[in-house]
């Protein structure tokens, strides 16, 4: 895995035209596997690459990245996902319904953080809960 992470391509030729094509790369997959074991450089790569690739005009990438990152379940990755709870960015999502960073983050974190469900996805309640529990939240084990 380490070799794929260090030397693997960031994107495969067949995936170059897909906005979320980087997720299929050997480097990304190796980084996911290593980050699950606490590999710091792989974790930082996932966060950095996600920041670069998430496009406010294309929520599909956001959804795919969040889905991939839920496998890692480490504090740095969950902290990265939490950042999106504080975003008010909205966009047209799948099926032409309005989506937002907050909704996507809440739906992702719902299955990752103990106790967040009690806020029922109400923006002010969720943010207040997170402000209070930011340093003490517990990650739900798989």
Q: 96-136 pLDDT, tens per residue?
A: 667 889 999 999 999 999 999 999 999 999 999 999 999 99
Residue 95: pLDDT band with limits 50, 70, 90: low
- pTM given for the model: 0.91
Nearest to 123, CA basis, from 100, 98, 91: 100
Each residue's pLDDT tens digit, 22-71: 999 999 999 999 999 999 999 999 999 999 988 776 778 888 999 999 99
| Predicted confidence (pLDDT) per residue in 36-47, tens digit | 999 999 999 999
User: Are the C-beta atoms of 125 and 119 separated by less than 8 Å?
Assistant: yes
């Amino acid at each position: 895995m380490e070799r794929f992470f260090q030397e693997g391509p960031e994107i495969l030729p067949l995936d170059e035209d897909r906005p979320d094509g980087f997720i299929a790369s050997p480097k990304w997959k190796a980084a996911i596997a290593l980050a699950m074991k606490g590999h710091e450089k792989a974790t930082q790569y996932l966060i950095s690459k996600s920041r670069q690739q998430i496009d406010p005009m294309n929520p599909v990438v956001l959804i795919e990245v969040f889905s991939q990152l839920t496998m890692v379940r480490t504090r740095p990755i969950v902290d990265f996902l939490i950042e999106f709870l504080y975003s008010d960015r909205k966009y047209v999502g799948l099926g032409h319904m309005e989506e937002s960073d907050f909704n996507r983050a809440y739906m992702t974190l719902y299955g990752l953080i103990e106790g967040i469900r009690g806020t029922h996805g109400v923006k002010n309640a969720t943010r207040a809960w997170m402000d209070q529990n930011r340093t003490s939240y517990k990650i739900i084990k798989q």
